[in-house]
Structure 1
Amino acid sequence: MQEIVRTNDPVLISAIEALLGGAHIPYLVLDQNMSVLEGSIGMLPRRILVDDGSELEARQLLTDAGLGRELRPQGP
């Protein structure tokens, strides 16, 4: 799994989930339940991960949707 986005913006997370889901790209959103520990202030970012085999497709999809600036640097 590769992390492609890290953000604490719930609207951005929803948009990315809709794009990835619509393209049938499997993904995980990690740290969603950390709000219990942080007191629901939205300080801790959520991480969106995709399968290694879907990373390039997911990155292209988000770039085409105008969200390329939100992408984490690509790993080795």
Structure 2
Amino acid sequence: MRVLLATTNPIRLSFLMALLRDAGYAPVVLDGHVSAIEGGIGIFPRRLAVPEDQASGARRLLAEAGESDGLA
């Protein structure tokens, strides 16, 4: 897996997941269960990742959509 970005913004994360899925990518959220530990206060970033072979295309898609802020 290749991490594309890390964010504490659940709305942006949801949007990027939908954008990637709609384009045929297989995104996953890493560290998503940390919210159970932190109590939902949003201080720990969740990481958005895709399979290694999809990383360059996914980065290109996010950049074309104007979502390149914070890309790893």
- TM-score normalised according to structure 2 size: 0.94
For residue 69 of structure 2, give the secondary structure of its aligned residue in structure 1: helix
Q: CA deviation at 1:27?
A: 1.4
Cα deviation 1:30-52 (Å, max 9, x = unaligned): 11111111111011000011111
Q: Percent identity?
A: 38
- The question of 1:41 aligning with 2:45 is answered no
Q: Output the TM-score relative to the length of structure 1.
A: 0.89
**SS state at 1:35 partner:** helix
Question: Secondary structure of the residue that 1:68 maps to in structure 2?
Answer: coil
Question: What is the match of residue 9 of structure 2?
Answer: 9
| Matches for 1:1-76 after TM superposition, within 5 Å | 1-72=1-72
Once the two structures are TM-superposed, the CA of residue 70 in structure 1 deviates from its matched residue by 2.4
4+ residue runs over 4 A deviation: none
Matched letter for residue 66 of structure 2: G
- Specify every segment of 5 or more residues in structure 1 that has no aligned partner in the other structure, as ranges: none
Length, aligned pairs only: 72
Measure the CA separation in 1 of the matches of 2:69 and 2:41.
Answer: 24
